[in-house]
Structure 1
Amino acid sequence: MSNLKQVSIYTRGITTASGAGGYGAILLYQNYRKELSGGFQLTTNNRMDILAAIAGLKALQTRCKVTVYNNNGYLVDAIANNWALRWQANNWKNSDKQPTANVDLWEQLLELYSQHDVEFIRIKQCAGNQEYQRCNYISRQAAHQQNLPVDEGYQPRFPLGTP
């Protein structure tokens, strides 16, 4: 039996039609609750989902047993199926020998992941889960803030000015 604190983290990342994005994370431990959110002026949904998990794990002050809930298959499968660890071992190349997207965030996430006992679970977006719905709300609020910072790691697939 583990002595580690058992923490649940609900995470959500979203983007708007304008390309702005927001993330939300809700940490739950016994009667303790913490909500985190932030946003960027131009980013992707995948980046926001990964960043939500990073924000949640970064908030932990000691080694914990963590369950991270998210609906993004890219995020959940990359961790649950060890894809991200393989990408890292292959110098950030995927199975097609192409560069892995979002390396800056995967590096941060894997570092935090290694510090805890973490399980990622994919939940259905429409599951009616109160915490996930709240997470969705705070991530949307974050994406609609004024004067959002630049997502320095964002690499547009088609740079501005290209057809």
Structure 2
Amino acid sequence: MQEDVHIYTDGSARGNPGPGGYGIVMEWVGKPYKKEFAQGFKHTTNNRMELLAVIEALRKLKKKKLKIRVFTDSKYVADAVEKKWVFGWEKKKFKDRKNSDLWKYFLVEYRNHSVNFTWIKGHNDHPQNERCDYLAVQASKEKNLLTDIGFKN
């Protein structure tokens, strides 16, 4: 069965931690549907933005139980899900895990759909990944950046 939606995501932090942002490109498979989203934050990390991009993309879907493929250049995110580490972290209540707030939000959204991840090499001329990177970096440079309330140094 073919995927209903392809989601491309990227996160960025200028400095790690520093100002950051995420970029999302969503495409409905077989239809001329394409949406882009981006948001910037005052003080965050690259990994938080990589994960938040996926969460926000899944939140934007109006239908439930879609078959989704997420393309990310983040091994942190792709491996945590595809190698099922995040489910072990959840069983241990995310004890001593960074970004536990976001992983909890992720699991809520993840369970609304059938989601698979594909890791793609970043900065490798993949058109949607390059677009997400551009959106994320531009978002991190905006004037009215949000506060990443879950970020802890």
> Normalising to structure 2: TM-score of the pair?
0.93
- Return the alpha-carbon distance in structure 2 between the equivalents of residues 129 and 149 of structure 1: 28
- Counterpart among 127, 132, 148 of residue 151 in structure 1: 148
- Return the alpha-carbon distance in structure 1 between the equivalents of residues 25 and 141 of structure 2: 19
Which residue matches 2:56? 55
Q: Deviations over 1:87-117 (max 9, x none)?
A: 0111113xxxxx1111111011111111100
What's the CA shift for 1:128? 1.3
- Return the alpha-carbon distance in structure 1 between the equivalents of residues 74 and 32 of structure 2: 27
Are 2:30 and 1:19 equivalent residues in the alignment? no
Aligned to 2:130, the other structure's residue is in SS state helix
Q: Which runs of 5+ in 2 are unaligned?
A: none
Are 2:11 and 1:9 equivalent residues in the alignment? no
Which residue matches 1:32? 33
Moved over 4 A (4+): none
Structure ID, larger Rg: 1
Aligned residues: 149
Letter in 2 for 1:121: T
Q: Which runs of 5+ in 1 are unaligned?
A: 94-98, 157-163
Aligned to 2:90, the other structure's residue is in SS state helix
Letter in 1 for 2:150: G
- Return the alpha-carbon distance in structure 2 between the equivalents of residues 146 and 66 of structure 1: 33
Letter in 2 for 1:118: V
- Return the alpha-carbon distance in structure 1 between the equivalents of residues 61 and 148 of structure 2: 23
- Return the alpha-carbon distance in structure 2 between the equivalents of residues 127 and 65 of structure 1: 26
Letter in 1 for 2:143: Q
When the two chains are superposed, the root-mean-square deviation of aligned CA atoms in Å is: 1.3
